[in-house]
Chains A and B, each alone.
Chain A
């Protein structure tokens, strides 16, 4: 005898992204669906396997019927949704957001350990950023070299909080967090103790590997030498499930 199927908990919906007809599970986000279908949407704070943060605002998209822009990483798809990811207006906004990031701290690619291997740098190139018109803040930030294996350079931090989330959600150590507010925000280890003195840090290095820029790097690297080892990234979501 055939047992009637129980209705599935998640439905499948159809939607349009950049005029392409697509199907997706309704628990997926616009960004996930776009990437499955090779539609590139720039992002910095998003990392598959980590919780959604929605803070870099580079993945904002236009949706038909909504006057507000939506962040693709945090918005789930709905039936009949029509999304545009690459209009002139969005490209302009993304360039300005990148300009703001470059102006905020001291991103000087030519002397950076991550030169040629940096997500901020490659995004700037792919988004066509050739000049920064926003005045640079030129504040000098400190460098924390106290850890045996790794180094933190606030001058190159973009506050994407990937390090905070990977440390809390995957490693389970919660060594990292954010202090201060507004332009005074910065990432800290253990209530702003030097990283080398951190009692909670396990030295696993996941924070260094997920950092998109040259803010978290291995000790002993110099200009252009830092290559991040991201072989474990595809397994992040499984690792999160283990806990």
Chain B
């Protein structure tokens, strides 16, 4: 396949689309499907009947999950778009009848609200627009152009240079410079190299990778293929958790279609470059998102981490140099190659370039997926895009970065979102989960919840994480039940330090973060729950010693 053939395919899809007067797009990502989007598609198809003027299309995530199932109606003539929310199969005939006339008022979802208007989409540009199960739809949206251009017009070094110039940093949470990682793997002398896509998204409340894979799987495949060309790999793995059946199904379809179009497999674009992708399913262990544990799992071993160095870039899968990036990182690559590294570097802040996808969840008006430029103030995400806190309650904290992250209080809400700023306020960017909490949440409970999560997800290999997380959970539980003393709190803080400093992998090293950040901003909530220790208790009728001091 060369660039002209790609254009022919795109042209054909556009001609086909131009024959219709209206296009009805139904979100069939997991969020909307679970609220009944499948039946809506059937209903709309039945209502349309054999009218060739109206096209009903299953597309990916449109973002506003709280309004699902979402349907977007586009009319070709004026190019006008109307979005409907909370659509039921019963509304189908009414929607179809309204085509060409006035929209169905009671279902209309305004798209001029900041939730839609303040976003800037790169990775999600095709989400909710193209059919994720149709490769030609992706090609019509300029898909695979970047891969074909890379293979036919660029040397691997040119690709590396563009990615380095873009300033892209790993979107899985660590924020390691992607260009640097790629060039390290590229420089390794080895006859065999691997590219791995980490889709083992496990943070509670996070669904960015799922959204991307369900809405635009080809983008990730294209990014992986470009990466493989740049580093000199010929084999790729996508490690995806088995809890994402729809994403897996769509990925499988995408891999099959790309193979048929000769965009994956042997001698892509009649060049010497070959690249195959295989899917590996995760069996539900959170720790397998850690790169060395992930590799062990791909190799068929028990999913547990090993010490680094050596890093996967030096000794990865079966000892060969391996490039591991997250779904969203690969998702950025086609756009960077198409528009150039300079263009990407123009978005975002000094040290954090581009956009970031966040999954908004918790006590917030608009839950769903958003993509915003780096550097946007956190307040804007929560109060403007997210629409603030529902039911007249007040904002208390926003949790970013999942079990490895921290809680950010009102006083730091004006921080602009980038890797370094979030670290400074005691949290991390993480993979993009954002859980908003209102004044009904107890921060000790939040810390206890995340510690429970880490303790049950610890692989059990290293002592500080295996026993430390368990003990910290015990202490947090004791404090939350009002049974803890000041000594328990001191021991908890001591354990936090030891587990953070000595654990083998990222899971243990970051497990204390939710405790440390809530202690930093909400220490009084812990202290309120403490009971006096036995030494401080007054003897019968006596005075409390601590009171006498003041």
Which residues in A have some Cβ–Cβ distance to B below 8 Å? 52-57, 60, 69, 71, 74-76, 92-93, 96-97, 100-101, 103-104, 133-135, 137, 158-159, 177-178, 180-185
Interface of B is mostly: helix
Please name all residues of chain A whose beta carbon is closer than 8 Å to the beta carbon of B459 when the two chains form the complex: 181-182, 185
Given contacts A57-B504, A93-B502, contact A159 B494 (CB under 8 A): no
Known: A133-B491, A181-B460, A182-B470. 9 other contacts (CB 8 A): A54-B462, A55-B504, A57-B504, A74-B307, A97-B502, A103-B467, A180-B460, A183-B466, A185-B459
Docked Cα-Cα span, A100 to B460, in Å, equals 13
Binds A, one of B34-42, B215-223, B266-274, B450-458: B450-458
Please name all residues of chain A whose beta carbon is closer than 8 Å to the beta carbon of B464 when the two chains form the complex: 57, 97, 100
Contact A52 B457 (CB under 8 A): no
Q: Does B461 belong to the interface (CB within 8 Å)?
A: yes
Please name all residues of chain B whose beta carbon is closer than 8 Å to the beta carbon of A60 when the two chains form the complex: 501-502
Q: Does B498 belong to the interface (CB within 8 Å)?
A: yes
Docked Cα-Cα span, A134 to B468, in Å, equals 9
Chain B min CB distance to A100 (Å): 4
Q: Which 8 A-B pairs have the closest CB atoms?
A: A185-B460, A74-B307, A54-B307, A100-B467, A182-B458, A96-B498, A183-B470, A57-B502
Contact A182 B307 (CB under 8 A): no
Contact A100 B468 (CB under 8 A): yes
Docked Cα-Cα span, A180 to B456, in Å, equals 10
Q: Which of B455, B460, B462, B467 contacts A178 (CB 8 A)?
A: B460
Contact B456 A69 (CB under 8 A): no
Contact B302 A183 (CB under 8 A): no
Please name all residues of chain B whose beta carbon is closer than 8 Å to the beta carbon of A104 when the two chains form the complex: 463, 466-467
Chain B min CB distance to A120 (Å): 11
Nearest B residue to A62 via CB reads B501
Contact A184 B498 (CB under 8 A): no
Q: Does B474 belong to the interface (CB within 8 Å)?
A: yes
Contact B502 A178 (CB under 8 A): no
Please name all residues of chain A whose beta carbon is closer than 8 Å to the beta carbon of B498 when the two chains form the complex: 92-93, 96-97
Chain A min CB distance to B293 (Å): 11
Interface centre among B456, B458, B474, B498 (most CB of A within 10 A): B498
Chain A min CB distance to B310 (Å): 8
Docked Cα-Cα span, A185 to B287, in Å, equals 15
Contact B285 A181 (CB under 8 A): yes
Docked Cα-Cα span, A94 to B501, in Å, equals 11
Contact A134 B471 (CB under 8 A): yes
Contact B462 A55 (CB under 8 A): yes
Nearest B residue to A105 via CB reads B467
Q: Does B261 belong to the interface (CB within 8 Å)?
A: no
Chain A min CB distance to B500 (Å): 10
Chain A min CB distance to B480 (Å): 15
Nearest B residue to A184 via CB reads B460
Docked Cα-Cα span, A96 to B468, in Å, equals 9
Contact B302 A178 (CB under 8 A): yes
Nearest B residue to A136 via CB reads B471
Contact A135 B471 (CB under 8 A): yes
Q: Which of B285, B457, B467 contacts A101 (CB 8 A)?
A: B467
Docked Cα-Cα span, A57 to B498, in Å, equals 11
Docked Cα-Cα span, A140 to B309, in Å, equals 38
Given contacts A57-B502, A183-B460, contact A96 B306 (CB under 8 A): no
Please name all residues of chain A whose beta carbon is closer than 8 Å to the beta carbon of B234 when the two chains form the complex: none
State which residues 460-494 of B face A: CB under 8 Å. Answer: 460-464, 466-471, 474-475, 491, 494
Docked Cα-Cα span, A118 to B302, in Å, equals 29
User: How large, as a class, is the contact surface on chain B?
Assistant: 20 to 34
Interface centre among B462, B467, B468 (most CB of A within 10 A): B467
Docked Cα-Cα span, A109 to B143, in Å, equals 67
Please name all residues of chain A whose beta carbon is closer than 8 Å to the beta carbon of B468 when the two chains form the complex: 100
Q: Which of A54, A137, A181 contacts B306 (CB 8 A)?
A: A54
Contact A159 B466 (CB under 8 A): yes
Q: Does B503 belong to the interface (CB within 8 Å)?
A: yes
Docked Cα-Cα span, A96 to B501, in Å, equals 12
Please name all residues of chain A whose beta carbon is closer than 8 Å to the beta carbon of B307 when the two chains form the complex: 52, 54, 71, 74-75
Nearest A residue to B502 via CB reads A57
Docked Cα-Cα span, A178 to B296, in Å, equals 15
Please name all residues of chain A whose beta carbon is closer than 8 Å to the beta carbon of B285 when the two chains form the complex: 181
Nearest B residue to A185 via CB reads B460
Q: Does B246 belong to the interface (CB within 8 Å)?
A: no
Please name all residues of chain B whose beta carbon is closer than 8 Å to the beta carbon of A178 when the two chains form the complex: 302, 460
Please name all residues of chain A whose beta carbon is closer than 8 Å to the beta carbon of B494 when the two chains form the complex: 96
Q: Does B495 belong to the interface (CB within 8 Å)?
A: yes
Q: Could you show 24 A-B contacts with beta carbons less than 8 Å apart?
A: A55-B461, A56-B462, A56-B463, A69-B501, A71-B307, A71-B504, A75-B307, A92-B498, A97-B464, A97-B498, A100-B468, A101-B463, A104-B463, A104-B467, A134-B491, A159-B460, A180-B460, A181-B456, A181-B460, A182-B458, A182-B459, A182-B469, A184-B460, A185-B459
Please name all residues of chain B whose beta carbon is closer than 8 Å to the beta carbon of A137 when the two chains form the complex: 470
Nearest A residue to B490 via CB reads A133
Chain A min CB distance to B314 (Å): 11
Q: Which of A75, A92, A93, A133 contacts B309 (CB 8 A)?
A: A75
Please name all residues of chain A whose beta carbon is closer than 8 Å to the beta carbon of B457 when the two chains form the complex: 181-182
Chain A min CB distance to B371 (Å): 32
Chain A min CB distance to B299 (Å): 15
Chain A min CB distance to B513 (Å): 15
Please name all residues of chain B whose beta carbon is closer than 8 Å to the beta carbon of A75 when the two chains form the complex: 307, 309
Contact A134 B460 (CB under 8 A): no
Chain B min CB distance to A215 (Å): 15
Chain B min CB distance to A171 (Å): 19
Docked Cα-Cα span, A243 to B501, in Å, equals 38
Chain B min CB distance to A239 (Å): 23
Please name all residues of chain A whose beta carbon is closer than 8 Å to the beta carbon of B455 when the two chains form the complex: 182-183
Chain A min CB distance to B494 (Å): 7
Docked Cα-Cα span, A93 to B503, in Å, equals 11
Please name all residues of chain B whose beta carbon is closer than 8 Å to the beta carbon of A57 when the two chains form the complex: 462-464, 502-504
Docked Cα-Cα span, A93 to B494, in Å, equals 10
Nearest A residue to B487 via CB reads A133
Q: Which of A53, A96, A101 contacts B495 (CB 8 A)?
A: A96
Chain A min CB distance to B46 (Å): 48
Nearest B residue to A71 via CB reads B307
Nearest A residue to B467 via CB reads A100
Contact B462 A134 (CB under 8 A): no
Docked Cα-Cα span, A56 to B465, in Å, equals 10
Docked Cα-Cα span, A188 to B90, in Å, equals 57
Docked Cα-Cα span, A181 to B508, in Å, equals 14
Please name all residues of chain B whose beta carbon is closer than 8 Å to the beta carbon of A52 when the two chains form the complex: 307
